């Protein structure tokens, strides 16, 4: 069984037990409703928190702040045809890279492959822009993956 599923089920059981205790305790109705609301809010927070702590690639759907993906450096990628696109990204301003997984999309995979080849030929790195906030129609119009342009030559003296 997947460790995330096991931990999530354990959290659900424990939080449900706490909710049950809160409901059956001899307290006022308002306090019981507050305890149940807190229990209901704790479940998704615990799931996302567990997912953040795991060392596995994070699904792009669960990114808290998609704006951080406006411009990121692609350090490595693995394409599993028909399954997923695994990315190792360095977000701008971040000190350490993060692993992400995107659902399989042949157009994205082709763009990534072309960007990696162009970056290798130019001696730069592939980059990614705004994939988290785009529909497939927008992805077709403007590429998501591209090679960093070559740096400008120093001025002649």
In terms of phi and psi (left: phi > 0; alpha: psi -120 to 50; beta: otherwise), the region of 144 is alpha
pLDDT confidence of residue 54: 66
pLDDT confidence of residue 62: 64
**pLDDT greater than 60 at residue 1:** no
Q: What is the pLDDT of residues 107-155, one digit of tens each?
A: 889 999 999 999 999 888 899 887 665 555 555 667 788 888 887 888 8
Q: What is the DSSP letter of 57?
A: P
pLDDT confidence of residue 61: 66
Going by CATH, does the domain composed of 60-147 fall within 2.40.50?
yes
Pairing mode, if any, of strands 72-80 and 58-59? unpaired
Cβ distance 104 to 84 under 8 Å?
yes
Q: Flag whether the pTM goes above 0.75.
A: no
pLDDT confidence of residue 85: 92
Burial code of 58-78, b = ≥16 C-beta within 10 A, e = fewer?
Answer: bebeeeeeeebbeebbbeebe
pLDDT confidence of residue 117: 94
Q: Span 58-77, mean pLDDT?
A: 73
**pLDDT greater than 80 at residue 57:** no
pLDDT confidence of residue 114: 93
pLDDT confidence of residue 134: 54
* Domain locations in the chain as residue ranges: 3-53, 60-147
Distant-in-sequence, close-in-space partners of 76: CB < 8 Å, separation ≥ 6: 87, 88
Residue 143: half-sphere exposure toward Cβ, Cα within 13 Å: 14
pLDDT confidence of residue 113: 93
C-alpha 153/C-alpha 155 separation (Å) is: 6
């Amino acid at each position: 069984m997947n460790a995330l599923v096991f931990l999530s089920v354990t959290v659900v059981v424990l939080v449900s037990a706490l909710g049950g205790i809160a409901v059956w305790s001899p307290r006022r109705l308002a306090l019981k409703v507050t305890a149940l609301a807190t229990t209901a809010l704790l479940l998704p927070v615990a799931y996302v928190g567990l997912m953040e702590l795991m060392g596995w690639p994070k699904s792009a759907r669960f990114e808290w702040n998609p704006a951080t993906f406006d411009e990121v450096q692609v350090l490595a990628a693995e394409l599993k045809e028909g399954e997923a696109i695994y990315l190792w990204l360095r977000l701008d301003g971040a000190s350490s890279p993060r692993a992400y997984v995107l659902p399989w999309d042949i157009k994205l995979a082709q763009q990534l492959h072309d960007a990696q080849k162009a970056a290798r030929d130019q001696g730069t790195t592939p980059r990614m822009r705004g994939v988290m906030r785009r529909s497939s129609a927008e992805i077709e119009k403007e590429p998501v993956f591209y090679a960093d342009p070559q740096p400008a030559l120093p001025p002649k003296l």
